[in-house]
Copies of this chain bind each other. A is one copy, B any other.
Amino acid sequence: MSHILNFGIPKGSLENATVDLFKKAGWQISISSRSYFPGVDDAEMNCKLIRPQEMGRYVERATIDAGIAGRDWVRENEADVVEVCEMVYSKVSRRPARWVLVVNGDSAVKGPEDLRGATISTELVGFTKRYFAERNIPVNVEFSWGATEAKVVDGLCDAIVEVTETGSTIKANGLRIVCELMESVPVLLANRASWADPWKREKIEQIATLLKSSLAAEGMVGLKMNAPADKVELITRMLPSLKTPTVSHLYNSDWLSIESILSEKEVRQIVPELIKLGAQGIIEYPLNKII
């Protein structure tokens, strides 16, 4: 019997970023607007588009072996799954999602304990109920079908639990964050039985390694230069120590070739110094992956 890994791609806000990341990692996933079944150029994988809210449910039931979703929804559903690793999609442009407790700007509420007996509207009903129960604060939590901010602005409820990255929408509506309840990043989940199966575990780990090596290359570049032998030590000492630079002889010459991996920010700092030290033929080239 041939081996197949069923993998869940998160539908919605993480969808395009996930497809892009797989592309960098070496897999072409093609999503058609006419089908719910993305194609993938790997005979060992089947992909399915699944809402992040339902990902934990289907991984737990083994409908799929593994998938990517926000940790918030895994906790909301109390799904019994293996969390393989975090997927911090971008150091640069994306902050972690934060679920926060929010009230009107002019409310007197200072902390969760001031909401005793209040009505709280949220899409994250289960987590919110447990949060207040653990603190022995009786509240009435009700499910919101969206436009949650409007409900507290409009007096339809006393507080909301809502997700935000920067808080700017919340401020723009004249609301105030009381406190943060949970921070969430995307995670790679696996079914417990699939993780115990050697072939499936190796396949999941292969995917995790390649995805992470693509993330690691973000903002990183290769820098190459030539230098006279007597400057090599000075130059390599100045290069960031994380990765040892690769130094090799040049043909019929006492110059050497030096090559290193740096962040773009380090390059802009170090280039004026390298010029002063006598490096020549400095070039910068792009990277796909750092493993």
Asked if A28 is at the interface of the complex by the 8 Å CB criterion, the answer is yes
Are B48's CB and A154's CB within 8 A? yes
Asked if A53 is at the interface of the complex by the 8 Å CB criterion, the answer is yes
Given contacts A41-B265, A53-B145, A172-B34, are A28 and B93 in contact (CB under 8 A)?
Answer: yes
Determine the chain B residues whose CB is within 8 A of the CB of A206 once the complex forms. 268-269, 271-272
Are A282's CB and B291's CB within 8 A? yes
Known: A243-B281, A249-B249, A283-B289. 8 other contacts (CB 8 A): A25-B268, A34-B168, A37-B154, A48-B154, A49-B150, A222-B285, A282-B289, A283-B287
Report the copy number of this chain in the oligomer: 6
Partner of A147 from B49, B248, B275 at Cβ < 8 Å: B49
Looking across the interface, which residue of chain B has its beta carbon closest to that of A257? B246
Are A26's CB and B264's CB within 8 A? yes
Q: Which of A225-282 contact B (CB under 8 A)?
A: 226, 232, 243-244, 246-252, 256-257, 261, 264-265, 267-269, 271-272, 274-275, 281-282
Looking across the interface, which residue of chain B has its beta carbon closest to that of A269? B206
Are A36's CB and B246's CB within 8 A? no
26 contacts between A and B (CB under 8 A): A11-B146, A25-B268, A26-B267, A28-B93, A34-B168, A34-B172, A36-B147, A36-B150, A41-B265, A49-B150, A54-B144, A63-B156, A202-B272, A205-B272, A210-B268, A213-B271, A222-B283, A244-B281, A246-B257, A247-B250, A248-B249, A282-B289, A282-B290, A284-B289, A285-B285, A285-B288
Determine the chain B residues whose CB is within 8 A of the CB of A149 once the complex forms. 36
Asked if A51 is at the interface of the complex by the 8 Å CB criterion, the answer is yes
CB proximity of A83 to chain B, nearest CB, Å: 21
Asked if A108 is at the interface of the complex by the 8 Å CB criterion, the answer is no
Are A92's CB and B41's CB within 8 A? yes
Determine the chain B residues whose CB is within 8 A of the CB of A92 once the complex forms. 28, 41
| Complex CA distance for A250 and B154, rounded to whole angstroms | 54
Looking across the interface, which residue of chain B has its beta carbon closest to that of A46? B154
Asked if A58 is at the interface of the complex by the 8 Å CB criterion, the answer is yes
Q: Which of A51-98 contact B (CB under 8 A)?
A: 51, 53-54, 58, 63, 92-93
Asked if A16 is at the interface of the complex by the 8 Å CB criterion, the answer is no
Asked if A209 is at the interface of the complex by the 8 Å CB criterion, the answer is yes
Asked if A132 is at the interface of the complex by the 8 Å CB criterion, the answer is no
Partner of A248 from B11, B251, B272 at Cβ < 8 Å: B251
Q: Which of A21-53 contact B (CB under 8 A)?
A: 25-28, 30, 34, 36-37, 41-42, 48-49, 51, 53
Given contacts A283-B287, A290-B283, are A154 and B36 in contact (CB under 8 A)?
Answer: yes
